[in-house]
Amino acid sequence: MGFEETLANATSDASYRRSRETSEKIHAKIAEDPSQFRMLTGDRPTGNLHIGHYFGSLSNRVKLQQAGVETWILVADYQVITDRDGTGPIRERAYSLVTDYLAAGIDPAKATIFAHSQVPALNQLMLPFLSLVTDAELRRNPTVKAELEATEGRPLSGLLLTYPVHQAADILFCKANIVPVGKDQLPHLEQTRVIAQRFDRRYGRPEGSDTPVFPSPQALLSDSGTILGLDGRKMSKSFGNTVDLGMSADETAKKIRKAVTDSDRFITYDPENRPEVANLLTIAAMATGRGQAEIAEEIGNGGGGTLKNYVTETLNELLAPLRERRAELEKDPEIVRRVLAEGIERANDQANETLREVREAMNMAY
């Protein structure tokens, strides 16, 4: 490892520690007064949501909303075409996302669920925001950099190159001041803060206002661990190694029976040497609230079969209410369409107001 890479890693670790400290302070403030926070989060409609989404973000969104945090949830449909040649069945997938949100407990009376392709003023923010970033900054973004390296000579689309700016527009148009993220997404949020601060310095504020147009959003880091796919690789829709939220109990059982374990019959929690077994124990722990080591000790000589049965039973028990609610929503799809339409209307109202402030700050209100 060279000096520059070592320095970059050290900087990244220090930044993560600061973000963790800030995140803990935010959680404490939410407990005291949630009304001071507005959260923006969301997903790309590229396929069905799975247990990785549920444990990693969806269940936490529900908890934050129940705690009183104002919630905005994005169906990031434009992001689908950042790295794909077409949209696929995007409308059906968008409605499926909203169905999962509602089934998981998101309350549409308290949350604004919207698709950014349907909010013109949000996307118009891209123009002034692009004036605030450089080509070099965009290419240093980890997501853009990784995608560029993976293209193997294929030209990088302009949409993918400017993906961090579009994400900033998603966050800032609604004046979100907290964004639930994982460690790998911290650079995106830092870029968003940079754009908000540069806008204030370069273009100023609406006439008569003492506050910046945009807040400086902070990361709300997830406390959940990372779940691998059932084959030991990264959990991904494209790998087919997930348990989808909408699967039946029997489908879940079939999936988990095929999960990779190892030849050692005695079950122990050893993430370094037995990652696949540890992963199943982690899924069971998240489903039950118990510890991985405690579950491993209970199973003992029961082997991989007993472990898989336990994971299946606990997952199916946890997800049963969600699946029942999801089935009800699928019988009446008009509910889902109405929720999304109402969310889009609220998002447009907010975006138009934000764009009005932006034009005033830029002296472009004619």
Is there a single domain that holds both residue 32 and residue 130? yes
Q: What is the pLDDT of residue 119?
A: 98
Q: Assess if residue 366 is contained within a domain.
A: no
> 53 and 93: one domain?
yes
Distances (CA, A) of 265 to 228, 296, 302, 350: 21, 11, 7, 57
Examine the domain organization and report whether 74 and 181 are in the same domain: yes
pLDDT at 224: 63
CB atoms within 10 A of CB 8: 12
Distance CA 154, CA 152 (A): 6
Note the pLDDT of residue 225: 65
Chunked in runs of 10, what are the mean pLDDT values of the chain (366 residues)? 41 78 93 96 92 92 95 96 84 96 95 97 97 93 82 80 95 96 87 96 91 94 78 81 92 94 93 94 94 95 95 96 96 97 98 97 94
Q: Which bin fits 20, alpha (ψ -120 to 50), beta or left (φ > 0)?
A: alpha
pTM comes to: 0.90
For residues 102 and 40, membership in a common domain is answered with: yes
* Residues 219, 193 share a domain: yes
Check: CB of residue 199 under 8 Å from CB of residue 132: yes
Same domain, 183 and 70: yes
* Percentage helix, strand, coil for the chain under 3-state DSSP, each rounded to 5: 60, 10, 30
Q: Which pair of tokens denotes residue 317? A: 């028990």
Q: Are residues 71 and 133 in the same domain?
A: yes
Domain count, the chain: 2
CA pair distance 277, 218, nearest whole angstrom:
35
- Is position 269 within any domain? yes
- Residue 309 confidence (pLDDT): 96
Structural domain boundaries, residue 322: 237-331
Distances (CA, A) of 162 to 13, 86, 120, 140, 147: 26, 18, 17, 12, 12
195, 261: one domain: no
pLDDT, tens digit, for every residue of 96-122?
999 999 999 999 999 999 999 999 999
Distances (CA, A) of 214 to 178, 346, 349, 360: 12, 18, 16, 13
Does some domain include residue 231? no
> Residue 145: which of 8, 2, 6, 7 has the closest Cα?
8
227 SS3 class: coil
Query: What distance in Å separates the CA atoms of residue 40 and residue 174, rounded to the nearest whole number?
Result: 8
Asked whether the beta carbons of 333 and 91 are under 8 A apart, the reply is: no
Rounded CA gap, 45 and 243, in Å? 17
CB neighbours of residue 311 within 10 Å: 26
Residue 232 is predicted with a pLDDT of 83
